Structure 1
């Protein structure tokens, strides 16, 4: 059994928001999936992308947004909504509200999170330190 405290894992930061991966194959002995919390800043989002080898589940904790799956028309999402995204399917999530859009994200199998570290706006804040957010001009 592994118990993960929110302060014990680093925070990944991007121009569009933050991610904390609580469970992943690279950090959790025996884990085969990845699970974490994503925070999308107001007016920002994770634009069209896919995960060729992993399905994804998103669960909306708070906030409001627009979700696109499989290049179909976007639809509204809000607290309590669950979005299932099959492997390799293109998708995007955009925060349309004034407050952060908080999501739980799960990749199965885990490992797709490693691709995020190659994004040009990626930075990592060590565990126990608070990320600094800066408003775009």
Structure 2
């Protein structure tokens, strides 16, 4: 099955956006979830865990800090892979000037459903464009 990202919704948050390429929500019975995460400069995804799913993150571009298992955060950049066992707390923050782009993989899939319960969640349909707005201080 070929997946065209243009035909999928985008999930947005105060910290960035996610496009799930393969997920139980819109793919015929997958056992995994796979997608691209974009963290905006200076933003991040706070400490959380996925009780029943392990996660793999692969950094496509940008630079950030990754915390795993409440240990000291370490720097991540393009080409780095991070493995997070099921139930382990973790967080990811963009420390650079450009978007931090990651591929995210959950096994088993379905852990992404909890993101939709966050107060800043907004779903953009396939024809909606994500707008980035610069705040003036």
Q: What's the TM-score, normalizing by structure 2?
A: 0.96
SS in 2 for 1:7: helix
Point out where structure 2 has 5 or more consecutive residues left out of the alignment.
none
1:54 counterpart residue number: 53
Q: How far apart are the structure 1 equivalents of 2:104 and 2:70? A: 20
- Alpha-carbon distance in 1 for matches of 2:57, 2:91: 11
Aligned equivalent of 1:98: 97
User: 1:73 maps to what in 2?
Assistant: 72
Which structure 1 residue ranges, 4+ long, deviate > 2 Å from structure 2? 133-137
TM-score (norm 1): 0.96
Q: Counterparts of 2:134 and 2:48 in 1: how far apart (Å)?
A: 24
For 2:127 and 2:21, how far apart are their aligned partners in 1? Answer: 14
Match of 1:109 in 2: 108
Q: How many residues align?
A: 136
Q: CA deviation at 1:95?
A: 0.2
1:120 aligns with 2:119: yes
1:5 matched to 2:4: yes
Q: Which moved more, 1:61-70 or 1:24-33?
A: 24-33
Match of 1:83 in 2: 82
| Post-superposition offset of 1:6 | 1.2
